[in-house]
A and B are shown apart, each in its own frame.
Chain A
Amino acid sequence: AQSVTQPDIHITVSEGASLELRCNYSYGATPYLFWYVQSPGQGLQLLLKYFSGDTLVQGIKGFEAEFKRSQSSFNLRKPSVHWSDAAEYFCAVGFSSNTGKLIFGQGTTLQVKP
């Protein structure tokens, strides 16, 4: 069965430090991969997505993610975290038929220390 795992439930980093949020997926076919951010009172916002092509994907707000098929991973990175990045981050996998149906990971809460 398809699944998405985010091993880190909670991460705390200092402002200005680098960030990596982990995501592993289990899916038999070519996955569509997404990272979303959820802030209180706001809907999930798409940070970036991978469908095909270059395995290093650039997103909004300075985020990037790298698809590694051999490791079934799609980790999210940012070189320098800002206090406004504190939020809940979700990795998601979509079906290769692109029905729009998404399976989400458990989420990682990012706390940023001043």
Chain B
Amino acid sequence: GAVVSQHPSWVICKSGTSVKIECRSLDFQATTMFWYRQFPKQSLMLMATSNEGSKATYEQGVEKDKFLINHASLTLSTLTVTSAHPEDSSFYICSARSTAEQYFGPGTRLTVT
């Protein structure tokens, strides 16, 4: 099946710095990608929908200036957590939508110290 990768798989950063997470569809083109956040032992919460060549659509309550999303090509979307704080520590998962279905990346564990 289709493969979606995320990089890095885990990252530790200091409070106040910014972190970029990449999401790539390896063998298909994805006009739409999604970013989710998952807290320990909890569900996935949709943060935003990323459309290639246009601005991302953020879910209610998600700070667009804090979580910058760029979908520069049909195979790459990036999530930048700006001025990260400990409360931003979480597991971030992306998914990429093909014509058939949605494929999920393995996730990125972010720890802010």
Contacts and interface: CB of A to CB of B under 8 A. Distances in A.
Interface of A: 36, 41-46, 49, 90, 99-107, 109
Q: Name the residue among A43, A90, A101, A103 with the largest chain B CB count within 10 angstroms.
A: A43
Nearest to A42: B106
B42 A43 contact: no
B46 A43 contact: no
A107 B93 CA distance: 15
Interface of B: 4, 32, 34, 41-46, 49, 93, 95, 97, 101-107
Nearest to B102: A100
B42 A107 contact: yes
A42 B107 CA distance: 8
A101 B43 CA distance: 15
A101 B46 contact: yes
A103 B106 contact: no
Contacts of A46: 101-102
Q: Name the residue among B42, B44, B49, B106 with the largest chain A CB count within 10 angstroms.
A: B44
A44 B93 contact: yes
Nearest to A88: B41
Given A43-B4, A43-B93, A49 B101 contact: yes
A46 B104 CA distance: 9
20 contacts: A43-B105, A43-B106, A44-B44, A44-B104, A46-B101, A46-B102, A49-B101, A99-B32, A99-B49, A100-B97, A101-B34, A101-B49, A102-B34, A102-B102, A104-B43, A104-B44, A105-B43, A106-B42, A107-B41, A107-B43
Nearest to A49: B101
A103 B46 contact: yes
B107 A43 contact: yes
Contacts of A104: 43-45
A99 B32 CA distance: 9
Contacts of B103: 43
